[in-house]
Structure 1
Amino acid sequence: MAHAQEIQLQIRGTPDEESVHDAGREGPKAATRRPTTRGGLRWWMTVAVDMLMVLCGTTVATLLGRLYYNSGGNSKWMATLTQSGGSPLLLVPLLMTPAPPAEERQPAASKMLPIYVGIGVLIGFDNLMYSYALQYLPVSTFSLVAATQLAFNAVTSRLINAQRFTALIANSVVLLTFSAALLGVGSASDGTSSGVPRGKYPVGFVLVLAASALFALIMSLFEATFEKVIRARTLRWVLSLQMYTNLVAAAVSVAGLMASGDWRTIPAEMAAFRDGRARYVLTLVGTAVSWQAAAVGMVRLVARVSSLFANVTATLSLPLVPVFAVALFGDRMTGIKVVAMLMAVWGFLSYVYQHYADGRRAGRAECRVCAGAGAARAGSDAVLPA
């Protein structure tokens, strides 16, 4: 899910030794030319598109998920299915991507199949916990507590991907953790007219924390897969990894839907849905499409930058979801939520500044390497005999 190299907010765009030697062979002029890096304008434009997919997809999917419950929907497994059921739609862009070159390394199917199944099962259960939590919490509280996935991601990425901690990253983790704790303390006084069962607050709070921790683990596993197994970050692999893992998650949801007997209640639920059957179908389809858009953006950010940066982007939706929830569902924007939101935004800004500072440092180091290669080439030319 609001909802995958060393994980760090540091641009991994320093030139390798081969590119430096090539520049030296081309001459001093070529060697001193600044190479294209991940911190360039074109790179930032593609990252901005991915961030927009995450922001829009997460916001719309969370609001539609709340609308499903408010309008008469009650099936947790159906809500779970919408979070991964749109994955077959990814087959269309996957078929449109160019085929990989013959010389490109392809991981064995025996390695990828356990990854697809393992991560897919984790996604299925993570989606189920989010579905329960979304029913038991106001959408504004749900979205803000879900920000703890960023703090959990810092822990899992440290253990799995050798994340280095800086003062700014530690500051962000502390702020986001305190932000979630503040919401938990103040949840008893959180008034809302959205029909949320007030006695379920503790259950919803625990579920969204557990789902956030599991989601952080999934993001770290995605990045470890790109780094250690696939060793390629193309769009084709992004779509493949997203589609196959979500197909497994959808299969888990369908199995749960059938085993729980919820499938028998779907016709009555559809008939009793506010504004009729058409709105019921449109709500579920819109939720499924929105979750897939957000998920593709998240996985693309994991491949382009890191899982930590992808989670940072997800926190940008925090100011958006509560505002729309107040307007659409009557949630109260209490003082505690405002303070928690400000703490979360400050934590996000700390991550962004760390990424910016690391990118600047990497760019300066890259320029020094290229300039040194050019100077070395010029010196060797100067001592050549006439």
Structure 2
Amino acid sequence: MAHAQEIQLQIRGVPDEESVHEDGRDGSKAATRRSTTRGSFRWWMTVAVDMLMVLCGTTVATLLGRLYYNSGGNSKWMATLTQSGGSPLLVVPLLMTPAPSAEERRPAASKLWPIYAGIGVLIGFDNLMYSYALQYLPVSTFSLVAATQLAFNAITSRLINAQRFTALIANSVMVLTFSAALLGVGSSSDGTSSSGSAPRGKYTVGFALVLAASAAFALIMSLFEATFEKVIRARTLRWVLSMQMYTNLVASAVSVAGLLASGDWRTIPAEMAAFKDGRARYVLTLAGTAVAWQAAAVGVVRLIARVSSLFANVTATLALPLVPVLAVALFGDRMTGIKVVAMLMAVWGFLSYVYQHYVDGRRAGRTHCRVCAARAGSDEVLPA
């Protein structure tokens, strides 16, 4: 009987998606039946949509951010605000999601709001550190150090989320990190590494900022995963949107406070007037950047809820080599062999991670079939 109970608990751990609600004991059986089995075709389709949101959102947001600076934008606080300022738009899809059922477990607000506030403040300062680090460092050095976020996430995932590591996952993390690092080193050869406007003596500060920002980003993603697992204990779209919106509203408040306190808001009218092609393009560029960042962020949080924070970070890292390739067509950058190799390495590392999840899904499916067969041949009723 003890063995049968253990098997049943393992089956209940397989469903991952639309929602595993818990009632304080074993969980809702109805929710378990509605959930999508990890590794199934439907599960992979939903994960593919999330990955597409991350890749497209990150790429578009990065390219629009570069367009902002190329066209005359210069406010670091404004650039920071666009990374979280689009969060009020999430109210629309949030209102369109199904209302929670009466039996759905709802965490106490006294637990959730401190989490929203703490993670939101971390996001706000993380965005700020990235913005200022890019001002103080050459692009090549910035990209090289920023690639460490995946390695940091591997550590935080192990310590906070008990992430299981296999040879394929380790290979994926290493190859993707080297891909981003190669891209950073290679950028010095195509004229994108110069930072003549950076203040003298700020190199060490910039290096420390981007390193701290990478570690903070990894910590934020692991905290998201821990919140879903231990506090919310549900994976619905409604909770994903709520988590994303409230934390980013706090991050936006941090950015607005910094914009006002620094006095940068006084330079916005002049910056808008001097922007290439006028005020309308200035507004559209910032609005498009904010929307793209929110699309990417929602995809990241959904991947964290469905799979893991490390998988979400692997997907986000895959976007790094895509940006320079698209910049060749959009901004006239020069295509180099290093960019091609970095992109191929990123694809290889990403496919290694995806294949590991495919193997895990197949193994879970075989275990499920064996247990079902054992239950069908047994007259004993397992406890609920």
* TM tier, smaller: 0.7 to 0.9
Change (3 A) 1:104 1:325: same
1:281-335 per-residue CA deviation (whole Å, 9 max, x = no partner) reads: 0000000001011111111111111111111222332342111112223434444
Aligned-pair identity (%): 90
Q: 1:172 touches 1:347 (CA, 8 Å); kept in 2?
A: yes
- The question of whether the paired residues in 2 share the 8 Å contact of 1:10 and 1:355 is answered with no
1:376 corresponds to which residue?
374
Contact 2:55–2:318, Cα closer than 8 Å, also in 1: yes
What SS does the aligned partner of 1:151 have? helix
**1:128 CA displacement:** 1.2
With 353-362 and 118-127 compared, the bigger mean Cα shift is at 353-362
Within 1, Cα distance between the matches of 2:23 and 2:247? 41
Gaps of 5+ in 2: none
Q: Does residue 283 of the first structure (1) align with residue 281 of the second (2)?
A: no
The SS at the match of 1:216 is helix
Aligned partners of 1:80 and 1:128 also within 8 Å: yes
Shift of 1:30: 16
Q: Cα–Cα, structure 1 residues 5 and 355, in superposed 2: closer, same or farther, change >3 Å?
A: farther
More moved, 279-288 vs 48-57:
48-57
**Structure 1 residues 313, 59: CA separation in 2 closer, same or farther (over 3 Å shift)?**
same
Deviation at 1:339, TM superposition (A): 3.6
The 1:120–1:101 alpha-carbon spacing in structure 2 relative to 1, beyond 3 Å, is same
Greater mean deviation of Cα atoms: 55-64 or 136-145: 136-145
Closer/same/farther in 2, CA of residues 186 and 316 from structure 1, 3 Å limit: closer
Any idea what the Cα deviations from partners look like across 1:12-53, whole Å, max 9, x if unmatched? Answer: 863799999999999999999999622222222221211111
Query: Do the aligned residues in 2 keep the contact of 1:85 with 1:247 (CA within 8 Å)?
Result: yes
Alpha carbons of structure 1 residues 367 and 207: separation in structure 2 relative to 1, 3 Å: same
Pair 338,137 (structure 1): closer, same or farther in 2 beyond 3 Å: farther
| C-alpha deviation, 1:200, in angstroms | 7.7
Shift of 1:337: 3.8
Contact 2:21/2:28 (CA < 8 Å) preserved in 1?
no
Deviation of 1:268 (Å): 0.3
SS for the counterpart of 1:3 is helix
- After superposition, the Cα gap between the structure-2 partners of 1:6 and 1:150, relative to the gap in structure 1 and judged at 3 Å, is farther
Residue deviations 1:251-308 (CA, integer Å, cap 9, x gap): 0000000111000000000000010000000000000001011111111111111111
Change (3 A) 1:54 1:184: closer
Q: Which deviates more, 67-76 or 198-207?
A: 198-207
In structure 1, the gaps of 5 or more residues are: none
**Displacement, 1:98?**
1.8
* TM-score, length basis structure 2: 0.82
How much has 1:64 moved relative to structure 2? 0.4
By how many angstroms is 1:171 displaced? Answer: 2.0
Tell me how far apart the structure 2 counterparts of residues 234 and 385 of structure 1 sit (CA, whole Å). 27
Partner of 2:185: 185
Q: Distance in 2 between matches of 1:292 and 1:306?
A: 19
Q: SS of 2:205's equivalent?
A: helix
1:164–1:7 CA distance, 2 compared to 1 (3 A): farther
Contact 2:79 / 2:131 at 8 angstroms: preserved in 1? yes
- Contact kept? 1:150, 1:311, Cα under 8 Å: yes
Choose 163-172 or 217-226, whichever is displaced more. 163-172
Counterpart Cα distance in 2 of 1:90 and 1:225: 20
Superposition deviation, residue 177 in structure 1? 3.5
User: 1:38/1:323 Cα in 2 relative to 1: closer, same or farther (>3 Å)?
Assistant: same
CA separation of 1:102/1:322 partners in 2, compared to 1, >3 Å: closer, same or farther?
same
Q: Which moved more, 1:148-157 or 1:292-301?
A: 148-157
Q: 1:272 aligns to what?
A: 274
The reply to whether residue 64 of structure 1 matches residue 68 of structure 2 is no
Q: Distance in 2 between matches of 1:28 and 1:299?
A: 23
Residues 91, 19 of structure 1: alpha-carbon distance in 2 compared, 3 angstrom cutoff:
closer
Choose 16-25 or 50-59, whichever is displaced more. 16-25
Which shows bigger deviation, 328-337 or 60-69?
A: 328-337
Report if the CA contact (8 A) 1:7-1:308 is conserved.
Answer: no
Shift of 1:102: 1.7
The Cα shift of 1:356 comes to 1.4
RMSD across aligned C-alpha pairs, in angstroms? 7.4
Alpha carbons 2:59, 2:322 under 8 Å: kept = yes
The 1:130–1:102 alpha-carbon spacing in structure 2 relative to 1, beyond 3 Å, is: same
- Return closer, same or farther for 1:10/1:28 CA change in 2, 3 Å cut-off: closer
Q: 2:107 touches 2:231 (CA, 8 Å); kept in 1?
A: yes
Q: Is the 8 A contact 2:85 2:290 kept in 1?
A: yes
C-alpha distance in 2 between matches for 1:255 and 1:384: 57
Matched-pair contact (CA < 8 Å) for 1:150–1:312: yes
Give the TM-score taking structure 1 as reference length.
Answer: 0.82
Report the CA distance shift for 1:21/1:316 in structure 2 as closer, same or farther (over 3 A).
closer
Task: Identify which of structures 1 and 2 has the higher relative contact order when contacts are C-alpha pairs closer than 8 Å and 6+ apart.
Answer: 1
1:240-259 CA distances to partner (integer Å, 9 max, x unpaired)?
A: 11000000000000000011
CA offsets 1:338-372 (integer angstroms, 9 cap, x no match): 444333333222211211111111111111111xx
CA contact (8 A) 1:3 1:295 kept: no
Task: Provide the C-alpha distance between the structure 2 equivalents of 1:262 and 1:5, rounded to a whole number of angstroms.
Answer: 61
Shift of 1:167: 1.4
Change beyond 3 A, Cα 1:383–1:145: closer
